Amino acid sequence: MDNQELKGIVARYFRGQLFDNEYELLAKYLEDIINREYFEKVKRDWEENPELDDFGQKNLDRLNYLIHNKESSAAAPTLFRRLWFQVVSAAAILITGLFFGSIYTRFIFRDKVHTEQITFVTPRGEKSFLKLPDGTEIWLNANSKLIYNTFSSSRRQVELKGEAFFKVARNEKAPFVVKMDGCDIEVLGTIFNVMDYAEFGRKEITLTSGKIDVHAEGKDQILTSGQALILKDHTLQVLEVNSNQASGWVENKFNFKNIPLSELIKRLENWYDVDITLENNTDREINFTGTFKNEETIWQVLDAIKVYTPISYKKTDLRKIKISVELRN
Q: What is the pLDDT of residue 321?
A: 94
pLDDT of residue 308: 81
One-letter amino acid of 234? H
pTM (2 decimals)? Answer: 0.69
Taking all residues of the chain, what is their mean pLDDT, rounded to a whole number? 77
Which pLDDT score, from 0 to 100, does residue 118 have? 83
Across 121-125, 156-160, 262-266, 267-271, least confident range: 121-125
Q: Are 184 and 216 in contact, with CB atoms under 8 Å apart?
A: yes
Residue 279 has pLDDT above 70, yes or no: yes
- Residue 81: its pLDDT value, please? 26
The residues with which 317 forms a beta bridge, in sequence order, are 320
Least confident of 40-44, 109-113, 240-244: 109-113
Domain over 117-251 is classified CATH 2.60.40.180: no
Report the CATH number of the 252-325 domain. 3.55.50.30
pLDDT at residue 301 greater than cutoff 50: yes
Q: What is the pLDDT of residue 287?
A: 85
pLDDT at 327 over 80: no
Query: Beta-carbon neighbour count of residue 155 at 10 Å?
Result: 14
Sign of the C-alpha dihedral, residues 206, 211, 212, 217?
A: positive
Between 22 and 290, residue with greater pLDDT? 290
Identify the residue with better confidence: 46 or 182: 182
Q: What is the pLDDT of residues 71-108, one digit of tens each?
A: 333 222 222 222 222 232 222 222 222 323 344 555 55
Give the confidence band of 172 by pLDDT, cuts at 50, 70, 90.
Answer: very high
Extents of the domains making up the chain: 1-82, 117-251, 252-325
The mean per-residue pLDDT over the stretch 16-20 comes to: 62
Residues 6+ apart with CB under 8 A from 61: 123
Say if residue 219's pLDDT is above 80: yes
Ramachandran class of 76: left when φ > 0, alpha when ψ lies in -120 to 50, beta otherwise: beta
pLDDT band at 242 (very low <50, low <70, confident <90, very high): confident
What is the Cα–Cα distance from 71 to 296, expressed in whole angstroms? 30
pLDDT of res. 47: 61
What is the model's pLDDT at position 63? 52
